[in-house]
Amino acid sequence: MLYDAAEDPATLSPTALREAYEARLRDIVTDHGTETVAAESGVDPADLESLLDGPVPDLSVTDAAAVLALDDDRDAETIVLELRDHLLLAMTTGVVDVDTLASNVDLDRSGQELQQAIEGRTEMTLETLAAIRQFLAARNDR
């Protein structure tokens, strides 16, 4: 799962957390091969090659979940739904609304835009996920 790719996300920068997500995905692509992952996940082979070459902050959470599903007993949709639930629970636990979230992450997005991404009405990138997850983990670690 993406949200557990790093042991203590509160201690990491958003960039380091995103890199942990990418490392998890990179391991799967390396283990299964780019062609197999592309065929089974539906993710563009060029995106997978970019992932193998280095950082891909604009990789979508949906594509990441499709890759993760190759090594998981859940399908990509379930992985995304669980991730959204995890974020919403962390927001509830930390008593964080989307405007507070927007003002505390370096994403240049409004609270409404973050809400739409968390709810799945717009695509969320790994960069966005990492920034949100890191802030929530730090907030809930207090």
Q: For 34-45, what is each residue's pLDDT tens digit?
A: 999 999 999 999
pLDDT category of residue 142 using cuts at 50, 70 and 90:
low
Distance CA(72)–CA(132), nearest Å, equals 24
pLDDT category of residue 118 using cuts at 50, 70 and 90:
very high
Helices (H), the chain: 14-32, 34-41, 45-53, 61-68, 76-93, 98-104, 111-119, 126-140
Distance CA(125)–CA(131), nearest Å, equals 10
Q: What are phi and psi of 121, to 5 degrees?
A: -80, -20
Would you state the pLDDT for residue 3? 67
11-23, pLDDT tens digit by residue? 999 999 999 999 9
Say if residues 9 and 18 touch (Cβ distance below 8 Å): no
Structure pTM?
0.93
Instruction: Look at residue 95 and tell me whether its pLDDT is greater than 70.
Output: yes
Would you state the pLDDT for residue 7? 83
Closest listed residue to residue 102, CA positions, set 112, 93, 94 = 112
Look-up of token digits 């929530």:
136
Q: How many other CB atoms sit within 10 Å of the CB of residue 124? A: 23
